[in-house]
Amino acid sequence: MSSTYRIPCISHDPALVAGEYDTPDAAERAIRDGIDDHPQCDLLIGRYSYPLIEVGCPPTTGPDRSGRHPCLPHSATEWVDVAWLRILATVHHSGDDQMQALARDSHLAHWPLERLRRLRDQLSLDLAEQT
């Protein structure tokens, strides 16, 4: 089954789709080279085999973008299954300090609730805004 790769811009709330590509490499190149109207935005890569099945945080080794999330440096896209992001959103939203600390200390640390909340439509989540 082939996949489509879309670039959600999560500097917008909710996230907007900033481009669509046939391969993850093409999506990474587009982000690295700059996407019109989103040069300073926090951009991700969504892998769709209808529905969305994975979300990737693109390499941090490209040109600086002021809106990019300050995650740990990585030279390849870090992919996470949508099911894990849904579980993580529930943990963040739960208010359970111990579970939230475990999430912060995991390899999913660069997925804070605000990033997930902006992806709520793509992740099929009903997340109220934090107060």
Q: Is residue 129 part of a domain?
A: no
User: Would you state the pLDDT for residue 130?
Assistant: 46
User: Would you state the pLDDT for residue 5?
Assistant: 97
Under a CB-based contact definition with an 8 Å cutoff, are residues 24 and 6 in contact? no
Q: Is residue 46 part of a domain?
A: yes
Q: Is residue 32 part of a domain?
A: yes
What is the tally of structural domains in the chain? 1
Q: State the CB neighbour count (10 A cutoff) for residue 33.
A: 9
Q: Is residue 14 part of a domain?
A: yes
Q: Is residue 69 part of a domain?
A: yes
Q: Is residue 131 part of a domain?
A: no
Q: Is residue 48 part of a domain?
A: yes
Domain that holds residue 59: 4-123
pLDDT in tens, 9-35: 999 999 999 999 999 999 999 998 888
pLDDT in tens, 51-110: 999 999 888 766 665 556 667 667 889 899 999 999 999 998 888 999 888 888 877 777
